[in-house]
Structure 1
Amino acid sequence: MKNKIILLAVLVSTIGISYSQVKEKMNVLGQNKHPNIIYILADDMGIGDIGVYGQTKIQTPNIDQMAFNGMKFTQHYSGAAVCAPSRSTLMTGQHTGHTPIRGNKEASNGQEGQVPLPKDALTLAEILKDKGYTTGMFGKWGLGFGEGDPNNQGFDEFYGYNCQKLAHRYYPPYLNHNQKRDSLKGNDGINTVVYSQDKIQEYTLKFLDENKNKSFFAYVPLALPHTELISPKDSIFAMYDGKFEEIPYTEDNKYTSDYGPNMVWYEYSSVEKPRATYATMVSRIDAYVGQIINKVHELGIADNTIIMFASDNGPTQEGGANPDFFNSTSGFRGYKRDLYEGGIRAPFIVVWPNKIKEGSVTNHVSAFWDIVPTITEIVDAEVPENIDGISLVPTLLNKNSQKEHDYLYWEFNIRQGRKAVRMGPWKGVWYNINNKNKQGELELYNLLSDEAETTNVSAKYPEITAKIKQIMIKESEASKLFPFE
């Protein structure tokens, strides 16, 4: 897609549009038994990066309008604190003590990509495909080639990045289109011609066009705003250029190499204006969301389309990103890779015209692994066995029958081992579990009175602390690929 089509007009195009005010064309088939489903996933976007969650420096009018037209969740959690396991929980409905992929681990034997999702994993795409849905995935996969490839995990069409290390670059030499490589002409490691996310968006919109008369599932895991920080110098960048005081992020920084003859593909480029560039990347997400919303209206299918928006984990501090400047965590403690709220509390907005009350807000505690049972109930599919999620349909439809989680669980086997549990108002966080020299202690926080997790009350509530520790032991099933010693 040409950069010039991503214009400010697109960015603000849906402000003031209400789904109930738009006269929709009849579907060519007259009806669809099941609704279309579009799930948009940002990458490393903090909950505080969105206007309706408190952002003041970055404009996100289209995502904000989604909240005005649908339901905003205030206590939704990502599947993990980094990319691949978060996506694994989303696809399987299992938390990180059960889901097959529990970390960002590279494939063995020098193969491209990450450790593959096993072929016997039952994914959301496979469930929907069995119900007659046409399925498409456009963006960053990160769950492996071979048996883990999107085409082998239920997706009819895939366009984007399979390898998430290649997704560190927005001007890569190629993207994956099903089982082939689509060369991006001009992106040779020196020249930067085709902005990958624009190209991915082109395929996303094309998929909606081609499947407007079918029941479809479009999974859109954007690469943005994951570092590297880089953007075309277009109308969106012009909104922020010169707006902030900047400290250039140079090639002298760790894990940084610029485009040129000696570029390292999986590292990040330097950036002269990191704050303006980050803001541009977030607003670019918003522009894409606006295009998708406009497209479903243009095609006359908005009344029969569910659109969901979330982020895979908290904001990063890498590559020149500055989440503190933008209050990207909305005041929560921690960042990407943390199991404090700032690392896993996620935005979640759902629009379902004539089903979800416009402008509704819920504080129901939910997580990525709830998406599988939610969608299976919506499409009247059999709920998979051995999942950890609970359907959110009662909340979405404002019914009084919503079941609550007894607890939510996360584990992360890097950095000496980390675990967390959310149980009612209580949050248990345990770091350095496997540190043989000095094991960490389980911290306990009351999120009702201390959402910022500033005061550890484990000594004051030993029974609750002990119960959470037992949950952490119970919920962690052994994994050969991701051992938690």
Structure 2
Amino acid sequence: MSVSPMVLLLSSLAPTASQAQDAPRPNVVIIFCDDLGYGDLGCYGNPTIATPNLDRMAAEGQRWTQFYVGASVCTPSRAALMTGRLPVRSGLCSGERRVLFPDSAGGIPASEITLAEALRDLGYDTGMVGKWHLGHLPPYLPTSNGFDSYFGIPYSNDMDRLPSAPEGRAAITKPRVEYFNVPLLRGTEVVERPADQRTITRRYTDEAVRFIDEHKGGNPFFLYLAHSMPHVPLFRSDEYEGVSRRGLYGDVIEEIDGSVGRVLDAIREGGISEETVVFFTSDNGPWLVFGRQGGTAGLLRNGKGSTWEGGMREPFLAWWPGTIPAGGMVRDLGATMDLYVTSILLAGGTPPGDRAIDGVDLRPAFFGAGPSPRDSMLYYRGTELYAARLGPYKAHFITEEAYGRDTNREAHDPPVLYHLEHDPSERFDVSAEHPGVIADIRALVDAHRETVEPVPNQLETRIGGE
């Protein structure tokens, strides 16, 4: 059988597995959005939001179609990214409070080894910019958990609502900066309160570019840029007002796209493109109850807070010129927990061996050398496992609407079953046709539960009380 010249050309340009494995330790940049939907980017099919920088990132790198987060809401999802572990293992999930609040007494436990700590121990300079949401008290802040520097807000941008703000959703849908007394920190010091959210995306970007400029050519670095947006209340800089056909929400996404462009330009202009891997994704799906001020999950079902696909499957782009082949679409499974394992291995380290790690090594898929080793996914809502995926099949043991909608929690025995590659919108229950698949998924869940140990819940304790 003859091979086309184009295939030969692409094969010659793609790094071999051994070449990629032996590449120098890269700088690692993770750009993490808040409440971005699967269908919110041009390269994922949005017809009206213009994302030329993210589209270019996808064209120069990889776009994944089945990439997941560790939870469908902020705090537990961020815990999964930072620890490589499902949040039930660290106590950073709850069915009662869902996330950390300004009156929360808990945060990321000192016993957890964050990605920043692991990379710093390997000689990396580490910096974080943006929303943390893993604890706002001193022991839990980024600079106590592996980051050399921090500039950002410690929890969600809709918290610390002042009594003078309108009641109900009016403060969210017609927001003013002074409605939310959210602090902006540099290190552990408050430098602005309330944070001026109209300029916060731009200032995060300024800080990220400054970090790159100051650290290029030195030690390898890890930069975690966690945008506050598009979590409501929505704000954007003056230069992005009215630029999108999608209205305010589109303006916010287009400013994030501009931010990505500036970060990638700083890497290119600094001459470190071939030494830097950049990952782009989000913490969970869109907050659908906010209508036009929320995003879209595209063809996926439901959104933030749910264990339907729209709550936990996210856009994901990987970019590393010269190492990650350009223009690839990866249909294998991946998850943010895998970025923990993969980044440590890229840095020349070994993931912690004294605890359960839920991430896997994605290097073969990134390098075009083989498939992703991930073949399953577990879907938690709070501390309860609602669903599990094995191969293309997903079984829902419990189903429930997303946060903010009328609850319709329902337990299923047998579970409802969907073939996600035939039916990504989860419309057609095929459980009656595949009892053997259900048995295999039950065995997967039972084996997982054997590895989960009780830990103190970090979300349910409050300052000054139980």
Task: Please give the TM-score of this superposition, normalised by the length of structure 2.
Answer: 0.80
Partner of residue 368, structure 2: 398
Kindly indicate whether the alpha-carbon contact (under 8 Å) linking 2:93 and 2:99 is maintained by their aligned counterparts in 1: no
The yes-or-no answer on 1:205 pairing with 2:228 is: no
Aligned twin of 1:16: none
> In the alignment, which residue of structure 1 is the partner of 2:329?
361
**Matches of 2:26 and 2:88 in 1, distance apart?**
32
Residue 196, structure 1, aligned to residue 163, structure 2: no
Per-residue deviation, 1:208:
1.3
Q: Does 1:125 align with 2:125?
A: no
Check the 8 A contact 1:73/1:348 in 2, yes or no.
Answer: yes
Map 1:241-280; keep pairs closer than 5 Å: 243=245, 276-280=247-251
Which residues in structure 2 correspond to 1:80-479 (within 5 Å)?
Answer: 80-103=71-94, 105=98, 112=103, 115-144=106-135, 145-164=137-156, 171=177, 174-183=183-192, 187=194, 195-214=199-218, 215-232=220-237, 234-240=238-244, 243=245, 276-321=247-292, 328-385=296-353, 386-400=356-370, 402=371, 404-413=373-382, 417=384, 419-431=386-398, 439-441=411-413, 442-476=415-449, 477=452, 478-479=454-455
Name stretches of at least 5 consecutive residues in structure 2 with no aligned partner: 1-22, 160-171, 401-406, 460-466
Query: In the alignment, is the contact (CA less than 8 A) between 1:106 and 1:113 conserved in 2?
Result: no
1:439: Cα distance to partner? Answer: 3.9
Q: CA 1:37 to 1:438, structure 2 compared with 1: closer, same or farther past 3 Å?
A: closer
**What is the aligned-residue identity percentage?**
30
**Deviation (angstroms), 1:68:** 0.6
Match of 1:343, SS state, is helix
Distance 2:287 2:456 in 1: 28
SS at the partner of 1:278? helix
- Distance in 1, matches of 2:313 and 2:410, equals 28
Residue of structure 1 equivalent to 2:46: 55
Unaligned runs of 5+ in 1: 1-31, 244-274
Contact 2:387 2:397 in 1 (8 A): yes
**How big is the shift at 1:304?**
1.1
RMSD: 2.8
The answer as to whether partners of 1:105 and 1:115 remain within 8 angstroms in 2 is no
Q: Which 10-residue stretch deviates more, 298-307 or 352-361?
A: 298-307
Residue in 2 that maps onto 1:26: none
CA displacement, residues 85-143 of structure 1 (integer Å, 9 cap, x when unaligned): 11111111112443441246566xx9645730000101110111011111001011100
Contact 2:29 / 2:277 at 8 angstroms: preserved in 1? yes
Q: CA deviation at 1:316?
A: 0.7
Query: CA shift at 1:177, angstroms?
Result: 1.1
Question: 1:460 and 1:399, CA in 2 relative to 1: closer, same or farther beyond 3 A?
Answer: same
Q: Which amino acid aligns with 2:64?
A: F
Q: Of 61, 66, 69, which aligns to 2:57?
A: 66
C-alpha distance after superposition, 1:312-337 (max 9, x if no partner): 111112444465xx6x2121111111
Deviation at 1:161, TM superposition (A): 1.0
> Partners of 1:65 and 1:228 in 2: how far apart?
28
